[in-house]
Chains A and B, each alone.
Chain A
Amino acid sequence: MMSPLATTTLLRIGPVPISQAVVTTWVIMAVLILGSAMLTRRLSIVPGKLQAALELTVETVDAQIRDTMQAEPGPYRAFIGTLFVFIFVANWSTLVPGAAPPTARIETDIALALLVFLAVIGFGIRSGGVSGYLKTFAAPNVLMIPLNLVESVTRTFSMFVRLFGNVMSGVFVIGIVMSLAGLLVPIPLMALDLLTGAVQAYIFAVLAMVFISAALPDASLPERTSP
């Protein structure tokens, strides 16, 4: 059985090896970009079915941001929404025969968690300035500074390990069951894997919201969770 930490190199561009996960990511990116462009090309006041579904999605994301961050969703909608939609589509790309979800490879998850890490710093500095952002490290009191510094790294680590562990273990278990009994037996596990994928995308987005709102200076700190 292939190691879940190994990568399969499909092609090389110069000295850079391009793995299967990267190609899948490119395809997902292309689908998302083209899909969004097509769906938003002809917006009308009276929405059709597709536009209504799209508006419902955006409004759900907005409501989640408003509930979790207790802030207006304007500046965060693009980042959080893209994060959720990308991870969701990536987790559900197991539905396409022959495709493996890129989130089952640890490098994709590291990249996503790094994005959240940088976004926390970016949103924190943008809303409170550098000093305001640095002050959030001394949030309850000054004694917490080392703990908060450590936490900002460990929570990023646990974020990508969580996504990687969940998605990869689903793929792995399906592979094992498939090698034992291939006909119809893995289907319930695949359904469970789809559910896990959706929940993990939601959790990743919610955690990104919680981390970002913890970095905002005068936020009321709705729920400060630390892994």
Chain B
Amino acid sequence: MNWLALCSIFSAALAVSFGSIGPAFAEGRAVAAAMDAIARQPEAASTISRTLFVGLAMIETTAIYCLVIALLLLFANPLLG
């Protein structure tokens, strides 16, 4: 176990843990806002939920990028050879 592998494992865990904080807060805010809007205007629920799903997919992308970086570090690390 050399330094490079150790750093890779550590930074993979770091990337996922810190990279998921932001999207988690953002998705929470988005869902809360959508709930508020649906409570005010129940007849617009289908439009709101469709836009919400697309927006959540966009927000979630940042967390998934972090996951992909972590997986690359763990399974396809170019530096470890």
Contact = CB atoms under 8 A, between A and B. Distances in A.
A199 B61 CA distance: 14
A4 B68 CA distance: 10
B64 to A, nearest CB: 3
B16 to A, nearest CB: 10
B50 A161 contact: no
A5 B73 CA distance: 12
A225 B47 CA distance: 15
B75 A207 contact: no
Interface in B33-81: 46-47, 50-51, 53-55, 57-58, 60-61, 64-65, 67-68, 71-72, 75-76
Contact of A203 (B53, B68, B76): B53
Chain B interface SS verdict (over half):
helix
B20 to A, nearest CB: 11
Contacts of A51: none
Contacts of B46: 67
A3 interface: yes
Q: Which of B60, B64, B75 has the most CB of A within 10 A?
A: B64
A202 B54 CA distance: 9
B61 A161 contact: yes
User: Interface size for chain B: under 10, 10 to 19, 20 to 34, or 35 or more residues?
Assistant: 10 to 19
Contacts of B65: 158, 161, 165
Contact of A161 (B55, B58, B68): B68
A3 B75 CA distance: 6
Given A162-B61, A227-B61, A5 B76 contact: yes
A169 interface: yes
A5 B64 contact: no
B60 A162 contact: yes
Nearest to B58: A227
Chain A interface SS verdict (over half):
helix
Contacts of B55: 225
Contacts of B75: 3-6
A68 interface: yes
Contacts of A161: 61, 64-65, 68
Interface of B: 46-47, 50-51, 53-55, 57-58, 60-61, 64-65, 67-68, 71-72, 75-76
21 contacts: A5-B71, A5-B76, A6-B75, A64-B50, A158-B61, A161-B61, A161-B65, A162-B60, A162-B61, A164-B68, A165-B64, A165-B65, A165-B68, A169-B64, A169-B67, A199-B53, A200-B57, A203-B53, A203-B54, A207-B54, A223-B54
**Nearest 9 CB-CB pairings of A with B:** A165-B64, A3-B75, A203-B57, A158-B61, A5-B76, A165-B67, A227-B61, A227-B58, A162-B61
